[in-house]
Amino acid sequence: MASPSFSNILNTLSPDLLIYDFNLPWAPTIASSYDIPAVDFIPVGVSMMTFSLHKFMKCGDEFPFPEIQLRGFHETQFWNLINKVAANRTKNKEGSVEAMKRSCDIILFHTLRELEGQYVEYMSALVEKKIVPVGSLVRDIDDDDEHTEIMEWLDNKDESSTV
């Protein structure tokens, strides 16, 4: 239901780039109608997304990283979800897999290369796009004075005026 408002926002603001959440698979379609490049941002680690996408795209092929396996109840639940996604995919051409395909040349992931490097590389091969790990979204604040300038700046802004 947000798509018409979203379209108006893009038309009004004319941004140079749209970074969209994978839960808004219709966003890159709207952006492309205004010639705005769009980049998918997936705010989860890449290992399970790679596992899921591999199972979805290469049904029957062994996942190349044996340390991630599902058994019993979890495997049944996973395949139920995959079948549900596949059924919705035939009805709706704007699912999360299609949203990844519509991402420009890159896809952003909430991960670190040092942590999930092998999955980053494999995901890149699966989707034929560069996977860019963006690191942690929430950082520990070790020094209370570190963000004082930012907090003072925000304190001078009207409520709800800054995103």
28 vs 143, more confident: 28
50 vs 80, more confident: 50
User: What's the pLDDT score for residue 1?
Assistant: 77
Q: Report the Cα–Cα distance between both ends of the chain, in Å, rounded.
A: 22
- Residue 113 sits at the vertex; the CA angle it makes with 109 and 116, to the nearest 5 degrees, is 80
pTM for the whole structure? 0.72
As a whole number of angstroms, the distance between CA 137 and CA 135 comes to: 6
Sign of CA dihedral 9, 15, 21, 26: positive
107 vs 101, more confident: 107
87 vs 129, more confident: 129
Annotated domain spans of the chain: 3-155
Could you read off the pLDDT of 88-97 as tens digits, one per residue?
Answer: 665 556 666 7
Could you read off the pLDDT of 33-78 as tens digits, one per residue?
Answer: 999 999 999 988 899 889 988 988 887 888 999 988 888 888 888 8
* Strands of 49-125, DSSP E: 106-109
103 vs 19, more confident: 19
The helix, strand and coil proportions of the chain, stated in percent and rounded to the nearest 5, come to: 50, 10, 40
Could you read off the pLDDT of 5-31 as tens digits, one per residue?
Answer: 999 999 999 999 999 987 888 899 999
User: What's the pLDDT score for residue 147?
Assistant: 65
Question: What CATH number does domain 3-155 carry, 3.40.50.2000, 3.30.200.20, 3.40.50.300, 3.30.70.20?
Answer: 3.40.50.2000
Containing 38, the helix (H) or strand (E) segment is strand 38-42
